[in-house]
Structure formats: structure tokens, C-alpha cells
Amino acid sequence: MQPTWHILGPGAIGSLFACHLQRAGFPVVLIGRKASPSPTSILLQEGDHTQSFCFECDDGQRPITHLLITVKAHQTDAALRPLKHRLGADSLIVLMQNGMGAWETVQQYCPETVCLLATTTEGANRPAPGQVIHGGSGTTYVGALAPDLQACAHQLCAQWSGLGLNLQEDQAILRQLWQKLAINCAINPLTVMYDCPNGALLSNAEALATMEKVCKEVETVMTHALREPAADLFELAKTVATRTGHNRSSMLQDVTCGRETEIDYITGFLLREAKRFNLNCPQNQALYDQIKR
Ligand SMILES: NC(=O)c1ccc[n+]([C@@H]2O[C@H](COP(=O)([O-])OP(=O)(O)OC[C@H]3O[C@@H](n4cnc5c(N)ncnc54)[C@H](OP(=O)(O)O)[C@@H]3O)[C@@H](O)[C@H]2O)c1
């Protein structure tokens, strides 16, 4: 029998995975906010194809064996706290979100569970409750923080191989997460400062100069954290800004809608790591302060 997957945070990415898991034969239960209960049905649009999925409501009682967390990083604490008594040594948690550091919350509330990390370049948006558009295909990388849990990441990739999404086991998931963090540090706060789509940063000399300084600082911290030389992050950030030129970053969307941003788990995480290694990141600190303001 297929295990039941609980999805904590049935937003754009959570709903996308919920639909694909159910289509692949897994029972799926959505867990939303108490104040705004999760939808019981989702209409998934992928290209010209639209399909409707119905989901079971969470009964709030049953032990949870498989949990996919897709709330935003800063929402992890409030979302996970009420579930901690339902998670134990037999539970598997997959943390799939932008930013780094929310695994500390998982370790705090569920120290016995196996926690895997995932990062995705799938693109999804939720124009209305119960409606999700899979706007762009990408790759989802899955790995473990601790080397002894790598076998669990391998098993998960095998279990999810029929999802119809591009999945990759990554034995160096931390490097993958750091690279995504670097791109987020380089692009997201600047799109807020200049109130522009990603690509517009490339034709703005002032923004580009700041982006280069941001990337140099991230490279230094990343080299200390991973104990290996970092890639040329400025080139990487420019490539991503070109490829996603028309996109408005998630941070810009959050600020525009008056929502809290993920800055504490993006630039904030970088600054905490910099402090651990006695490094200064004045450019990132300035952007962090401006976004917080
Ligand atoms: N969307 C993408 O294309 C994409 C791509 C790559 C990575 N990501 C990352 O994936 C993560 C999720 O992004 P998203 O776009 O899916 O965000 P989202 O649509 O806002 O989804 C977050 C979901 O979590 C729910 N939630 C918030 N607090 C909760 C709580 N206490 N308990 C239960 N549920 C709670 C939200 O409910 P409400 O609706 O009530 O707020 C919402 O359904 C983020 O870290 C994002 O950066 C997104």
C-alpha cells in the first residue's frame, strides 16, 4: 500500500506536488492554516491540460508518517508546532522551500524524525483558492543534511519516480541550496529596491554593481561554510536574471501584497553564517536592513 502524504502548506508548490502525488496513486491530505482551511479540491492547469483533484480533510489526530512542508520558510514554526505530537521516529519530513535554516525548527520540534531537504525550480502560481497553474517545468533536487540519511533520500526519489516531475537525488544538497540562496540574495532584494522584474536589473548599472558585490560576499561566506571554493556566483545570478527576465521575484510579490518576505531565511541566513565565521557582508547587510524597514 502506498503511504499517505500530508502536505503542510497547500499553496502553489504544495498543491502542485499534492496533485502529482495523488495522480501517482498516493493518498494525499492537505493541511492549511486554521484560519483559512485548505481547499478540498484543486484544479491544476498544465499547458492546455486541466484536471481536477479532490482531497481528504485532515482529521487533526492521526499520526503523520510522510510530511511534505511547503509553507514559506518564515511560516514553518507556526505551521509545524501544532503537528509535533503527530510526528515521531517513524516519520519522514521533506522540507521544500526557498531559503535556508528552517530545518532548525524541524529539529527543534521533531528531533527524532528523518528530515530531508528539497529545492525546486518548478514554477507554479495560485490565481485563486483551489486553482493552480504549473507555469514552468523545472527540477526538484532532494538530499539529506546528514550523510547517514542519504539512503532515505535515495528511497524517496525511487518512491517519487512516477510523479511525472523531474526529480534528482543530490548528495551535495547543501551546495545546491547555497547556490539557490546566492541567486536569491543577488536578485530578490534588488528587485524590491528597484521595483522591477528580474531582467531589468541587468540593464541598470547601479543595480548590477550592487549585485556583483552581493555575490562576492556570498562567495566568501559560502566558501567558509562548505569548505570548498564557490562557483562564480555573479555569472550564475546574471544567467538566472536573464532566463527569468520577465518574472517578478517572490520577494517583490510579497512586498507588493504587504506580506512578510522570506528575507530572514535568505539574506538573514547569510548574515548569521557570516557572523559565525567572523566575516563582514556590508552590501548584504544594507539590503537586509532596507527590506526589513
Ligand atoms: N511558487 C513557486 O513557483 C516556487 C518555486 C520554487 C520555490 N518556491 C518556494 O516554495 C515555498 C512555497 O511557495 P509557494 O509559492 O507555494 O507559497 P504559497 O502559495 O504562499 O504557499 C504557502 C502555503 O502555506 C500556507 N500556510 C501559511 N501558514 C501556514 C500555517 N501556519 N499552517 C498551514 N499552512 C500555512 C499558506 O496558506 P495561506 O494561503 O492561507 O497563506 C499557503 O497555502 C516558498 O519557500 C517559495 O519560495 C516557490
The arithmetic mean of pLDDT across residues 27-38, rounded, is: 85
Dump pLDDT digits (tens) for 228-283. 888 899 999 999 999 999 999 999 999 999 999 999 999 999 999 999 999 999 99
Looking at the fold, whether 162 and 186 belong to one and the same domain comes out as: no
What's the pLDDT at 185? 98
- Does residue 17 sit in the same domain as residue 158? yes
Give the whole-angstrom CA distance, residue 288 versus residue 251: 12
| CATH, residue 270 | 1.10.1040.10
Considering the domain architecture, whether residues 244 and 147 belong to the same structural domain is answered as no
Name the one residue in this structure whose C-alpha cell is 532548525.
104
b/e map of 91-118 (b: 16 or more CB within 10 Å)?
bbbbbbbbbbbbbebbeebbeebbbbbb
- Catalytic residue, chosen from 34, 72, 84, 180, is 180
Flag whether pLDDT at 35 surpasses 80: no
How far, in Å, is the centroid of ligand 1 from the Cα of 37? 14
Give the model's confidence band at 39: pLDDT under 50 very low, under 70 low, under 90 confident, else very high: confident
- Structurally, how many domains does the chain consist of? 2
CB-side exposure of 192: number of CA atoms within 13 Å? 26
Task: Indicate whether residue 119 lines ligand 1 (CB < 6 A).
Answer: no
Assign 36 a pLDDT band (cuts: 50, 70, 90).
Answer: confident
Q: Whose CA is nearest to atom 42 of ligand 1?
A: 11
User: Given this model, what pLDDT does residue 28 score?
Assistant: 96
CA 184 / ligand 1 centre spacing (Å) = 16
What is residue 186's predicted lDDT score, i.e. its pLDDT?
A: 97
198 lines ligand 1 (CB under 6 A): no
Choice from 6, 7, 13 to test ligand 1 binding pocket (greatest atom count within 8 A of CB): 13
Q: DSSP 3-state assignment of 183? A: helix
Indicate whether 163 and 34 sit together in one domain: yes
Is 39's C-beta closer than 6 angstroms to any atom of ligand 1? no
Question: How many angstroms separate the alpha carbon of residue 174 from the centre of ligand 1?
Answer: 21
Q: Answer yes or no: do 167 and 179 share one domain.
A: no
In this structure, what CATH number is given to the domain that contains residue 18?
A: 3.40.50.720
Contact 12, 132 (CB under 8 A): yes
Determine the pLDDT at residue 1.
Answer: 82
- pLDDT grade for 40, boundaries at 50, 70 and 90: confident
Q: Is residue 288 very low, low, confident or very high in pLDDT (cuts 50, 70, 90)?
A: very high
Alpha carbon distance 55, 104 (integer Å): 30
50 and 165: one domain? Answer: yes
Per-residue model confidence (pLDDT) at position 217:
97
At residue 229, the pLDDT reads 86
Cα of 72 from ligand 1 centre, angstroms: 5
Apex CA 87: angle with CA 84 and CA 93, to 5°?
Answer: 105
- From residue 225, how far is each of 261, 264, 270 by CA, in Å? 24, 18, 10
> Same domain, yes or no, for 25 and 153?
yes
CB neighbour list of residue 118: distance below 8 Å, 6 or more residues apart: 94, 95, 96, 140, 141, 142, 143, 173
Ligand 1 within 6 A of CB of 249: no
| Closest approach atom of ligand 1 to CA 36 | 40
User: Does residue 34 carry a catalytic annotation?
Assistant: no
Q: Which residue segment(s) compose the domain that 128 sits in?
A: 5-171
Cβ 155 vs Cβ 244: under 8 Å: no
Asked if residue 154 and residue 68 are part of one domain, the reply reads: yes
Rounded to the nearest angstrom, the distance between the alpha carbon of 97 and the centre of ligand 1 is 8
Is the distance from the beta carbon of residue 124 to the nearest atom of ligand 1 less than 6 Å?
yes
The secondary element (H helix, E strand) that includes residue 177 is: helix 173-193
Angle at 273 between CA 224 and CA 194, to 5 degrees: 110
pLDDT tens figures, 147-186:
889 999 999 999 999 999 999 999 999 999 999 999 999 9
Is 257 touching ligand 1 by the criterion CB < 6 Å?
A: no
Pocket test for ligand 1, best of 75, 122, 132 (most atoms within 8 A of CB): 75
Measured at the CA of 276, the angle between CA 285 and CA 184, to 5 degrees, comes to 45
On whether both 111 and 229 belong to a single domain, the answer is no
Q: From the centroid of its chain, how far is CA 113?
A: 20
Domain boundary among 148, 171, 194: 171
Q: Is the four-CA dihedral 184, 187, 190, 194 of positive or negative sign?
A: negative
Q: How far is CA 255 from the centre of its chain?
A: 18
Q: Does the C-beta of 268 come closer than 6 Å to ligand 1?
A: no
**Residue 126 CA, ligand 1 centroid: distance in Å:** 10
Looking at residue 86, its pLDDT comes to 96
- Given pLDDT bands bounded at 50, 70 and 90, which one contains residue 59? confident
Q: What is the pLDDT of residues 73-131, one digit of tens each?
A: 999 999 999 999 999 999 999 999 999 999 999 999 999 999 999 999 999 999 988 99
One domain for residues 166 and 287: no
Residues 47 and 165 in one domain: yes
Q: Last residue of a domain, which of 110, 145, 171?
A: 171
State which ligand 1 atom lies nearest to the alpha carbon of 250: 47
Same domain, yes or no: 223 and 156: no
**Ligand 1: does its nearest atom lie under 6 Å from the Cβ of 133?**
no
Cα angle 171, 185, 141 (rounded to 5 degrees) comes to: 25
Q: Is 35 exposed, middle or buried (0-12, 13-18, 19+ CB in 10 A)?
A: exposed
Among 156, 171, 186, the domain boundary falls at: 171
